[in-house]
Amino acid sequence: MNIDEILSSPTAAAEREGPANKIVWSSRVRLARNIINTPFPGWANKSIRVDAFRKIRENVLKVRTMKGSFETEMDQLTTLEKQILVERHFISREHAAKSYGSGLVLSKDESISVMINEEDHLRMQALLPGLQINNAWVTIDKFDSQLEKGLEFAYSKKHGYLTACPTNLGTGIRVSAMLHLPGLVLSEQINQIIQAVNKLGLAVRGLYGEGTEALGNVFQVSNQMTLGETEADIVERINKVLLQIVDHEENARIKLLDSKPKILYNHIGRAYGILANAHSISSKETMNLLSLLRLGIDLQMFPGTSHSLINELIIITQPAHLQKSNDGKLSAEKRDLLRSNLLRSRLNGVDRPIVSDNMKIDDDEKTKEKE
């Protein structure tokens, strides 16, 4: 099996856009479900786990939206292929560690993915570009309802849907969005925003979820509790918070342009200079600098350059994608060399950033700086 024949190309994936996509890169709604009278995957023996996998896979493939989908057992994938799926956000890092008796079903348009026998029997998610929390919820709710025609889920009138981890108990829903917040980071407001969001009972995590770093000024905001609220209430609450964060990020960018244009231009100009000229660069540094280039595009500093170029570079410079395109496992040093070659080649046609009138430093500002 060649995973390149299954997944959309990085170019195609990079061209997907949705509402408020300058700041909200993607929206996700995930549901956790377990089969009645069947031990959770972590407690089940091999035979029970395999039986559950086959039963679930059979019913998932019956759903109309999964026609023509890709399905596999985890032991049929190489470590590199699993990591590619993690980098595309189709599976969790925990699921990548699974093998026999666990699997994945991915819809043809890649909007729905179902992890079978991860922590729970089913972890189904709808993943859409931009700010589309409501659409993602409608998509996965409909999918869940269709699955219930053939599968009976573990449910308690008192506690709701039963899950392996108590934090998923109740609705079993996890609503999240991936946000690009360089304005709040550069203006040093991000910690204040994170604290405010945490007080509202929401979690702020890194690019790949819990326990990961917020590379490239990208933050994942999601609900923490799944008990005591309806799914619709959780979706509505998070959507309101996301809209507020988008407003804060937009305002932070405007203020930076008005009050600190020189500093902003310096950050973006340096990012361009390093990415277009470096001969060795790590994945972490690449992500952080591409974030600044994307901000520069949003601020019209790179006329004629689209988001899709940066989106694609973010995908293809990740370690697994880079190794896949170079036919196998590479040392970190070799990856850094190849990554820099790729970046120089792809950015060769991108002209240096243009300073617009509102970013030029006038005499009054120079005087203030001297003072």
Distance CA 128, CA 359 (A): 34
Q: Which residue, among 7, 23, 20, 17, has the nearest Cα to 294 in the 3D structure? A: 23
- Report d(CA 207, CA 88) in Å as an integer: 11
pTM score of the predicted model = 0.91
DSSP β-ladder status, 173-180 and 155-156: unpaired
Indicate the burial class of 94 (C-beta count within 10 angstroms; 0-12, 13-18, 19 or more): middle
Write out the DSSP string of 238-287: HHHHHHHHHHHHHHHHHHHHHH-HHHHHHHHHHHHHHHHH-SS--HHHHH
Angle between helices 190-199 and 231-259 (to 10 degrees): 160
Alpha-carbon span 282 to 265, nearest angstrom: 23
Q: What is the pLDDT along the chain (371 residues), one digit of tens a residue?
A: 457 667 778 888 889 999 999 999 999 999 999 999 999 999 999 999 999 999 999 999 999 999 999 999 999 999 999 999 999 999 999 999 998 999 999 999 999 999 999 999 999 999 999 999 999 999 999 999 999 999 999 999 999 999 999 989 999 999 999 999 999 999 999 999 999 999 999 999 987 766 667 799 999 999 988 888 999 999 999 999 999 999 999 999 999 999 999 999 999 999 999 999 999 999 999 999 999 999 999 999 999 999 999 999 999 999 999 998 887 788 999 999 999 999 999 999 999 998 866 555 554 444 454 44
| Rounded-to-integer distance, Cα 232 and Cα 201, Å | 16
Per residue in 177-205, is it b (16+ CB within 10 Å) or e — as a string? bbbbbbbbbbbebbeebbeebeeeebbbb
Domains and CATH numbers, the chain: 16-254 (3.30.590.10), 260-360 (no CATH)
